[in-house]
Chains A and B, each alone.
Chain A
Amino acid sequence: KQEVTQIPAALSVPEGENLVLNCSFTDSAIYNLQWFRQDPGKGLTSLLLIQSSQREQTSGRLNASLDKSSGRSTLYIAASQPGDSATYLCAVRDSSYKLIFGSGTRLLVRP
């Protein structure tokens, strides 16, 4: 059974720092991996989607990598800003097309 783990559960950094959020999954037979952002009282916003054949995706200050063989993905946020404060979720779409989520990393960027 696919399990998705995110470490750390919470992270607090000063503004301007570069940071890395980690996601690991137990079964490498995935279709794709998606990173989401969730703000309090809001739904999930898709940030980046990496297909199983890809190694990374970039959007602005965000870069997500995927190492399928080791079951890992990282989300790199450059030059963090207070507006980046949110919960970040990763999810893998498994071979049955089901989307399986991690529990998230709660990020606080201090001014």
Chain B
Amino acid sequence: EAQVTQNPRYLITVTGKKLTVTCSQNMNHEYMSWYRQDPGLGLRQIYYSMNVEVTDKGDVPEGYKVSRKEKRNFPLILESPSPNQTSLYFCASSLSPRHDQPQHFGDGTRLSIL
């Protein structure tokens, strides 16, 4: 089944404790991205990747890192999480942004930073 898989789905942690949210897709998609969703602000893009070893900042990259060492995986890293990073996070992928293909989303990761 074609899907985007995020882990963990839920995480409660404390300020400053490094964490990684994994994202994996099995559709051989080139384009992957991370969003955060906050009430009243909608979904905002954090980082995106056009292909392996190519990553770029989205609208709200501060406090986040990503890597794209292989096509299927695009982990989101919070080196020193802070309470303002408490949010619902989504990973998405598509064949390519240059094709009129829909984006496929994971089920989301709810992070709470205390």
* Residues of A that sit less than 8 Å from B by CB: 4, 31-32, 34, 36, 41-46, 49, 51, 89, 91, 93, 97-99, 101-104
Instruction: Specify which chain A residues have a CB less than 8 angstroms from the CB of B58 in the assembled complex.
Output: 98
Shortest beta-carbon contacts, A-B, top 10: A97-B97, A46-B102, A43-B105, A44-B105, A101-B43, A103-B42, A43-B107, A101-B42, A51-B100, A49-B102
Instruction: Specify which chain B residues have a CB less than 8 angstroms from the CB of A102 in the assembled complex.
Output: 42
Instruction: Specify which chain B residues have a CB less than 8 angstroms from the CB of A91 in the assembled complex.
Output: 43
Closest to B45 in A: A98
- Interface 0/1 of B28-45, CB less than 8 Å to A: 000001010000111111
B77 to chain A, nearest CB (A): 20
Determine if A99 and B103 form an interchain contact, defined as CB atoms under 8 angstroms apart: yes
B24 to chain A, nearest CB (A): 14
Instruction: Specify which chain A residues have a CB less than 8 angstroms from the CB of B97 in the assembled complex.
Output: 31, 93, 97
Q: Which one of B45, B104, B107 contacts A42 once the chains associate, using CB atoms below 8 Å? A: B107
B75 within 8 A of A: no
Q: In whole angstroms, what is the CA distance A42 to B35 when docked? A: 14
Closest to A49 in B: B102
Instruction: Specify which chain B residues have a CB less than 8 angstroms from the CB of A45 in the assembled complex.
Output: 105
Q: In whole angstroms, what is the CA distance A36 to B98 when docked? A: 19
Q: Which one of B42, B100, B102 contacts A104 once the chains associate, using CB atoms below 8 Å? A: B42
B55-94 interface with A by 8 A CB criterion: 58-59, 90, 92
Closest to A36 in B: B105
- Contacts A42-B107, A43-B90 given: A49-B42 contact, CB under 8 Å? no
Closest to B59 in A: A98
Q: In whole angstroms, what is the CA distance A89 to B86 when docked? A: 22
